[in-house]
Amino acid sequence: MAQEMVQEKGETLVDPIEQHPGFEDTESKVGLWGHPLHAMSVAFPVALTFCAFGADGLYWLSGNPVWAWAALWATGTAFLFGLAAGATGTMELLMVPGIRIRAAAWTHFVIAVLLLSLLGANWGYRLYGYEAAVLPYGILLSGFNVLVVMATGWHGGKLVFDYRLGTSKGS
Ligand code: HEM
């Protein structure tokens, strides 16, 4: 109703977020020689989350404890590299005004924190008996983590491809 009234008068609607002085300030501030650290670091937790599910599956199929041991390492390193990736992402979120002001960046933060807590749970659970932990709850958790990491990565990609967050505008 309010929108129609404004349009009847021939005025254009104004998004207060877009009016913020820092809205267009979206360039990455956390990088090495112009290469954004978050984009470089996310590959590790993503790949290791898939590796954990793969190792659990191979343990289920073969019964060979080496795969349960591999899953313990994959879950632990997925969590630790995930924390490192989360730290670089959080620095971008807090330091860059055009990232901080966009709701989509905070949505990615919330999904990512959920992922990190699930990765930590998957690792911590195995520390009390890495072989017994795989079936059934370890592999179920690993499978769920694959879904959550896909959602996190897909959403992070949207921040870059749709909003151009964390990129460079060139010199
Ligand atoms: C926990 C806090 C996190 C925050 C605040 C955060 C924030 C961001 C932001 C602002 C971007 C846009 C690009 C940039 O500014 O670097 C981004 C991109 C991305 N994020 Fe995160 N992130 C977090 C954790 C994670 C985690 C744990 C993962 C995956 C395991 C992840 C996966 C991605 C991916 C795949 C991209 C796209 C990278 C590209 O295509 O260059 N993020 N994230």
What is the SS3 assignment for 43-78? HHHHHHHHHHHHHHHHHHHHCCHHHHHHHHHHHHHH
Domain assignment present for residue 84? The answer is yes
Give per-residue pLDDT as tens, 14-39: 999 999 999 999 999 999 998 999 99
Q: Which range marks the domain in which residue 40 is found?
A: 36-161
pLDDT at 3 over 70: no
**Taking Cα atoms as reference points, which of 63, 141, 148 lies closest to residue 111?**
148
Number of structural domains found in the chain: 1
Å from CA of 156 to ligand 1 middle: 5
Q: What pLDDT was estimated at residue 1?
A: 45
Residue nearest to atom 41 of ligand 1 (CA): 39
| SS3 state of residue 97 | helix
- What lies within 8 Å, CB to CB, of 162 at 6+ separation is 104
Å from CA of 33 to ligand 1 middle: 19
Domain assignment present for residue 166? The answer is no
Å from CA of 103 to ligand 1 middle: 14
Q: In this structure, what token pair is assigned to residue 138?
A: 């370890």
Q: In this structure, what token pair is assigned to residue 68?
A: 């349960």
Domain assignment present for residue 136? The answer is yes
**What's this model's pTM, rounded to 2 decimal places?**
0.92
Domain assignment present for residue 1? The answer is no
CATH number of the structural domain spanning residue 119? 1.20.120
Report d(CA 18, CA 53) in Å as an integer: 42
Residue list, ligand 1 pocket, CB within 6 Å:
28, 36, 38-39, 42, 45-46, 82, 85-86, 89-90, 92-93, 99, 105, 108-109, 112-113, 115-116, 149, 152-153, 156-157, 159-160, 165-166
Give per-residue pLDDT as tens, 70-81: 999 999 999 999
Domain assignment present for residue 11? The answer is no
How far is residue 124 from each of residues 51, 75, 112, 132, measured CA to CA in Å? 17, 9, 18, 13
The mean per-residue pLDDT over the stretch 48-64 comes to 98
CA dihedral 54, 39, 126, 72 (to 10 degrees): 50
Å from CA of 70 to ligand 1 middle: 26
- Residue 71's CB is within 10 A of a number of other CB atoms, namely 29
Domain assignment present for residue 59? The answer is yes
Residue nearest to atom 22 of ligand 1 (CA): 89
Domain assignment present for residue 137? The answer is yes
Residue nearest to atom 39 of ligand 1 (CA): 39
Domain assignment present for residue 72? The answer is yes
Residues of the chain with pLDDT > 90, as a percent, come to: 88
